Chains A and B, each alone.
Chain A
Amino acid sequence: MMLLEERPRVAFAPHDRLLDVARLGLDHEEPRPYLQDIVDQLAGRLGAPFALIDVLLDGAQVFLAGHGPLPPWIAEAGGTPIEWAFCRPFLTVRQPRIVRDLSEDPMWRDTRLVKVEGARAYIGVPLISHRGHVIGGLCAVDVVPRDFPAEAIAMMESLATEVIDRIESRVAAGG
Chain B
Amino acid sequence: MAPNTERPTEADALRALAELVGDETAAGMWDLTVRALGLRRPVESVSDLRQVAEHMMITGDLVRVAGRSLKVRAITYDALSPTGGQP
Stretch in A40-48, A69-77, A99-107, A167-175 with 4+ CB within 8 Å of B:
A69-77
CA gap between A76 and B80 in the complex, in Å: 12
Q: Which residues of B contact A22 (CB under 8 A)?
A: 61-62, 64-65
B66 lies within 8 A of A19 (CB): no
Interface residue A1 (Cβ < 8 Å from any Cβ of B): yes
Stretch in A58-66, A90-98, A145-153 with 4+ CB within 8 Å of B:
A58-66
A73 lies within 8 A of B76 (CB): yes
B76 lies within 8 A of A62 (CB): no
Interface residue B73 (Cβ < 8 Å from any Cβ of A): yes
A interface bracket (residues with beta carbon within 8 Å of B): 20 to 34
Interface residue B35 (Cβ < 8 Å from any Cβ of A): no
CA gap between A24 and B15 in the complex, in Å: 29
Interface residue A78 (Cβ < 8 Å from any Cβ of B): yes
Given contacts A1-B81, A3-B81, A19-B61, contact A29 B76 (CB under 8 A): no
Interface SS majority for chain A: mixed
A82 lies within 8 A of B69 (CB): yes
CA gap between A97 and B69 in the complex, in Å: 24
B76 lies within 8 A of A4 (CB): yes
Q: Which residues of A contact B72 (CB under 8 A)?
A: 57, 59-62, 77-81
Interface residue B71 (Cβ < 8 Å from any Cβ of A): yes
CA gap between A155 and B62 in the complex, in Å: 33
Interface residue B75 (Cβ < 8 Å from any Cβ of A): yes
CA gap between A61 and B69 in the complex, in Å: 8
B62, B75, B80, B81: the one within 8 Å of A18 (CB): B62
Interface residue A157 (Cβ < 8 Å from any Cβ of B): no
Interface residue B2 (Cβ < 8 Å from any Cβ of A): no
CA gap between A79 and B71 in the complex, in Å: 10
CA gap between A57 and B72 in the complex, in Å: 10
CB distance from B61 to the nearest CB of A (A): 4
Q: Which residues of B contact A21 (CB under 8 A)?
A: 65
Interface residue B1 (Cβ < 8 Å from any Cβ of A): no
CA gap between A80 and B71 in the complex, in Å: 10
Besides A4-B73, A15-B62, A60-B71, 9 other CB < 8 A contacts? A4-B77, A57-B65, A57-B68, A58-B66, A58-B69, A73-B76, A80-B72, A81-B72, A82-B69
Partner-A contacts on B (CB < 8 A): 58, 61-62, 64-66, 68-73, 75-77, 79-81, 83
In order of increasing CB-CB distance, the 3 nearest A-B pairs are: A59-B69, A60-B72, A22-B61
